[in-house]
Amino acid sequence: MDQDDKATYFRELHVPGDPFIIPNAYDVGSAKMLAGLGAKAIATTSSGYAFTLGRPDMGNVTRDEMLDHCEDLAKAVKVPVSADLEKGFAHDPDGVAETVELAAETGIVGCTLEDSTMDSAHPSYDFEIAVARMAAAVEAAEALPIDFTICARADGVMLGSYDVEEAIRRLQAFESIGAHVVYCPLPPGMDDVAKICASVNVPVNVLCAGQFTKYSRDDFARAGVARISIGGALARVTHGVVAEIGTAMLGFGDFSGLGKAMAGGEVDKMMKSGEA
């Protein structure tokens, strides 16, 4: 599929009540493996990518670095790629719109944008500014020659800067300006997920992390979800394995954890299956 076909296919995957899983890959190898394992689409993860560079999460990757990363993944796999572009690498609406335009040039077919400022003293943009930023992103996407999908995030519940009711107000506003998908990461519980899904008429993405990992795809389907992402969880699981085996090996001379390693040939086979 070319980028246009991938974009159309990706948009069509979003069916409320019949969610697809879009795993977040942290590098080209993990993206190829996930595609080879059957992922219908791949998302990037800003935190996971930052970890590969030896940096902490939240605003420590430049726009150019992220766009290069997006291009690498889009070229590497046979399935559509959507990007986690944090706050769009800009405060002003015009800057966010420019990021969307540049992102589309990398070969990806969509992106997720946050209403978070990356400032711990004031974690979320004020309502009017948040909506204006998303509106600029949607306008830029609609001007593109492909069905570029904008997923608008209301991050304040996760960041502790506002409650679910305010998140719903923002998601409804994002819907009203044309966002194709909306997203409130980590609300208090599954009842809140269902409430969010019922409050809008566009597909809803959920983050399967933390307490939500106890639920299945069917549980999310019953709540009305259209898309399930995992954020940086897979990258953190990988780092957890490094920490566990590294501690045993370097602290106690215990190499037994290395016996869990996949055969190199199996890794090669999976990556080959998923590549473009």
DSSP 12-80: HT--TTSPEEE-EESSHHHHHHHHHTT-S-EEE-HHHHHHHTT--SSS-S-HHHHHHHHHHHHHHBSS-
| Confidence at residue 58, expressed as pLDDT on a 0 to 100 scale | 79
From 205, 238, 178, select the one nearest 48 (Cα to Cα).
Answer: 238
| CATH for the stretch 3-274 | 3.20.20.60
Average pLDDT, the chain: 97
3-state class (DSSP) for residue 121: coil
Spatial neighbors of 166 by CB under 8 A, at least 6 apart, are 154, 156
Angle at 54 between CA 229 and CA 113, to 5 degrees: 35
Please say whether the beta carbons of 206 and 229 come within 8 A.
Answer: yes
pLDDT band at 107 (very low <50, low <70, confident <90, very high): very high
- Give residue limits of the domains in the chain: 3-274
**Closest to 166 (Cα-Cα) out of 190, 187, 137, 181:** 187
DSSP 155: -
CB-based contacts of 190, cutoff 8 Å, min separation 6: 212, 215, 219, 223
Average pLDDT over residues 60-74: 97
Amino acid letter at 266? E
| Predicted confidence band of residue 46 (pLDDT cuts 50, 70, 90) | very high
Residue 112 DSSP SS3: strand
Look at residue 219 and tell me whether its pLDDT is greater than 90: yes
**pTM for the structure as a whole:** 0.96
Of 68, 64, 63, 65, the residue nearest 54 (C-alpha): 65
pLDDT of the residue at 59 = 78
Give the Å distances, CA to CA, from 165 to 33, 184, 207. Answer: 39, 11, 18
